[in-house]
Structure 1
Amino acid sequence: MTDPRIWRVVGDPLVRPTGSGDLTGQSVAVKDLYAVAGQRIGAGNPAWLDHAVPELAHAWAVERLLADGAAVHGIAQTDELAYDLTGTNAHHGTPPNPLAPHRISGGSTSGPASAVSMGEATIGLGTDTAGSIRVPAAYQGLWGIRSTTGAVPMGGVLPLAPSFDTVGWLTHDPALLAEVGRSLLPPGGVPVGQVVVADDLLALADADVAAAVGELAAGRPRITWPMSVMAEMRAAMQTLEAFEAWRSHGAWLGNRLDTLGPDVRARFQRASTVTAAQADAARAQVERHRTGMRNHLGDRVLLLPSAPSVAPAVNRPRTLDAVRQATVQLTCIAGIGGLPAVSIPVTTADGLPAGACLIGPAGSDHALIELAKSLTLHL
């Protein structure tokens, strides 16, 4: 029986492969932001789905996966318009988290992540704007990658904030993560240097997560991190993200805000108040911090927590906004930098899933996945 918390529509398969290749035999859960020919985009919101029309063609990424032999098993749920990190969709419910029952799935790539963790698909195709691949990967013990901004064409994907939106995917193992990368990413790319750790960033995580990530961080070179500007970085990203989110969807949402769940509705209401001048100032800050971070890291790879905590319990909604703010404080580094980030599953002392994140130079996606694979061989 299909779980509507995970899936909006499924098939056997929903779309058959158009070719054969390294992904033959793999099945894809497609986040409900991607165009799938003959299907509507629902964006996690029933009113949006009601007004949508069937897509005439596949999104670029969907087309590539089909050409390399993968089948689309179905279209999986997302947080509304991808503007959340929790997976707690007000209309469809919270997808299950099998490694951490009674805890949230993480979002906004919530349905694809749960589909993979439940064994109902082998690849979860999603997006990452402010952590929407890395957070569900961490919460559900999956491998996930946020690709370098612009590395994978976003054609046929419903936008949220184009300055930060990027294609990402989740799998159970790094070998398949790399295979999907060979399908979607440009060949080659830049190499990576040594892995470094900023202890101040590690300290932003809860003690159990910091300890789990610390196993990978042990003995690695330490660097300083400009902690004094972290709050400014997060605020700049959230301001520009909000402005672009309203620019993307405000015309449609203007008289339909009541169709959104309360958390996402409040976020869009705030977004509607961001002025062009505020957005311009935030954009200038984002560009300055992007340049500064890229120069600071060079070819080095930064190791930090994918998310600062394990998945919160489903029945603790009042804590979720605080968790979101703490999470974005870490995830904004790759978002602002436009950098690739691979989430590696780790486990806390209590047996709960968490994530260790590697952030590499722009264009180092392939090398970053291979580095992540090599690090886990020594755990």
Structure 2
Amino acid sequence: MPLYDPAHAFVPYPDAAVPHAATGPLTGLCFGVKDLFDIAGYPTGGGNPIVLALSGIKTRTAPTVQRLLDAGARLAGKTVTDELAFSMTGNNVHFGAPLNGAAPDRISGGSSSGSAAAVSHGLCDFALGTDTGGSVRAPANHCGLYGLRPTHGRVSLEGALDLAPSLDTCGWFARDVQTFARVADVLLQPDTAPLPPQVRLLRPLDVWALSSPAAVAALEPALQRVQAVLGQAQPVQAQLDSFEAMYWAFRYIQGREAWMTDGPLLERYHPPLGAAVRQRLEWSRTVTDTQWVPATAFRQRFRAHLAALLGNDGVLVMPTMHDIAPLRADSEEAVEDYRNRSTESLCMAGLSGFPQLSMPLATRAGAPLGLSLLGPAGSDRSLIALAERIAASS
């Protein structure tokens, strides 16, 4: 880890030698890795002391991390994650709360909190995170970064701890789109469904209606900038049945899989857990077949619905989160309410498995506010190319 860590972003492991290629497309860049990924010479702690104690020192590096090393990037260290990656606050009761470099009085967001904090403080050039329910997109929004939740399965999670495997994805953060695109060239194969040169920009009015009026007003100039590059956005409705139905389908699937992943650990070792994470897992334990089976059926219907809406050329433009990050001084109840409200729109990419890219294009009350592009499955690199065009328009 860096000798100087004002962000409290890195897990304080003893340094271990991690070789990287002398030359390559990422030469000159250093990166952080969320402490869910195995790296030879380090343990994998998952934000929990019992997981850390059981880990042992790894002898193999996760393939996604190895690709970055082979491309010439240098490891800066392993970054703090919310406990078991099952939160979006960035507050880990065991390892602390990484600090938001863009808005120090506000939470960094999680669960990829340390990765976003490290990049926002300039302690590394980019960082790997994971996104199950918003764990890249929320910190990107809060910390003023580019962040991608890729098409499900597009970037390998081999050698990484699971939360909810049918929802888990590997994404990353960068401060500028040029660095972000360099990483994309290494981690993403060519798009399986590339967008055409002229996309059909869509503004989901129902998603925008979830945001606070102040957030919508703050995002309006960014929306106008995007439309100046990509064309006028057509109004559409993106939800299926209702946002409440989407929210609960996502929660039931995530909860069922989270308990299948972490339940055995809890039942055998009874590890110390933060109150919110414990409550979430205890709720997950109660998810029944009569809740989970209809939820999976709903996911299939929603995926087909969104695929039909987007076709092969449609791109949704929408707020990443419904507002700026909560204050660090806010109550746990207020932060949990923020999380639940945000999940209503964040679950769209999770249920569909489609890629969503958050861009740091706006601010409100001195804090960052992200605007997202969501495209068809397999259009990840095309979305980043659109972001490059938008960034060049400033």
TM class, shorter-chain normalised?
A: over 0.9
Of 118, 129, 136 in structure 2, the residue corresponding to residue 115 of structure 1 is 118
Q: What letter matches 2:210 in structure 1?
A: L
Q: How many residues align?
A: 379
Q: 1:331-368 deviations in whole A, cap 9, x for unaligned? A: 11111110111110023343310100100111111110
CA deviations 1:171-200 (Å, max 9, x no partner) are: 011111111111111124322222211122
Paired residue for 1:203? Answer: 209
Aligned to 2:37: 34
Amino acid at match of 1:206: S
What is the root-mean-square deviation in Å for CA atoms of aligned residues?
1.8
Question: Is 1:220 paired with 2:226?
Answer: no
Query: Aligned match of 2:372 in 332, 337, 357?
Result: 357
1:147 corresponds, among 142, 146, 150, to: 150
The answer for the alignment partner of 1:290 in structure 2 is 303
Partner of residue 164, structure 1: 167
- Deviation, 1:328, is 0.7
Deviation of 1:374 (Å):
1.3
* 1:157 aligned partner, one-letter code: A
Residue 215 of structure 2 aligns with an amino acid whose one-letter code is: V
**What is the alpha-carbon distance in structure 2 between the residues aligned to residue 151 and residue 231 of structure 1?**
28
How big is each residue's C-alpha offset from its partner over 1:194-238, in whole Å with a ceiling of 9 and x where there is no partner?
A: 221112211211223222322233342222333642211111011
Deviation, structure 1 residue 23: 0.4
Check the 8 A contact 2:206/2:239 in 1, yes or no.
no
The letter for the 1-side match of 2:169 is T
Could you tell me which amino acid in structure 1 is paired with residue 37 of structure 2?
Y
Partner of 1:271: 284
The 1-side partners of 2:392 and 2:222 are apart by: 11
CA deviation after TM superposition for structure 1 residue 14, in Å: 5.2
Give 1:89 deviation, angstroms: 1.0
| Alpha-carbon distance in structure 1 between the residues aligned to 2:130 and 2:251 | 17
Contact 1:13 1:72 in 2 (8 A): no
Residues 340-379 of structure 1: pairs in structure 2 closer than 5 A: 340-379=355-394
After superposition, the Cα gap between the structure-2 partners of 1:251 and 1:110, relative to the gap in structure 1 and judged at 3 Å, is same
Give the conservation status (yes or no) of the 8 Å contact 1:213–1:304.
Answer: no
Amino acid at match of 2:112: T
**Is 1:70 equivalent to 2:73 in the alignment?**
yes
- The whole-number CA distance in structure 1 between the counterparts of 2:89 and 2:176 is 23
Q: Percent identity?
A: 37
**What displacement does 1:19 show?**
5.2
Q: Which runs of 5+ in 2 are unaligned?
A: 225-231
Question: What amino acid maps onto 1:301 in structure 2?
Answer: V
- The one-letter code sitting in structure 2 at the alignment partner of 1:341 is Q
Unaligned runs of 5+ in 1: none
Would the aligned equivalents of 1:161 and 1:241 in 2 still touch at CA under 8 Å?
yes
Give the TM-score normalised by structure 1: 0.95
Other structure's SS at 1:353 match:
strand
The aligned amino acid for 2:319 is P
Tell me the CA shift for residue 28 of structure 1: 1.1
